[in-house]
Amino acid sequence: MYSEYYVDGANPNIPSWRMIRTATTKYVHTHDAQGALIAREYYDLASDPAENTNLLGDATTTNDPPAATLTDLANRLDAFATCAGASCVR
């Protein structure tokens, strides 16, 4: 599942974000008004289905997912953000 929100005139204080959810993870990018990445979130839905602990936002890196996993998810976010019509294969 992929979802996104871009700042609009009605809600200028809510930052833009993109999210991808797999069967076991949720990965989120938050962007500033210029489109720069300002935050990342990663949740292990198998052990934390309520999404209480952002594994990229806690004080330790020992529980971070492998870099290859984050790269894959970020690439998928970028692909979904730029695809159109039939090219948006899930």
Percent of the chain at pLDDT exceeding 70: 90
| DSSP letter assigned to residue 12 | T
Predicted pLDDT at 89: 63
- Give yes or no for residue 12 having a pLDDT over 80: no
Cα angle at 61 between 58 and 63, to 5 degrees? 85
Distance CA 62, CA 38 (A): 22
Task: Give tens-digit pLDDT for 46-90.
Answer: 999 999 999 998 888 888 999 999 999 999 888 888 888 877 765
Distance CA 62, CA 25 (A): 17
Task: Give tens-digit pLDDT for 14-39.
Answer: 888 899 999 999 999 998 878 889 99
Q: Look up tokens 């309520």; give the residue.
A: 50
Pairing outcome for strands 2-5 and 25-31: unpaired
Q: Which domains does the chain have, with CATH numbers?
A: 2-87 (3.30.1120.10)
Q: CA nearest 27: which of 58, 61, 72?
A: 72
Predicted pLDDT at 9: 67
The pTM assigned to this predicted structure is 0.82
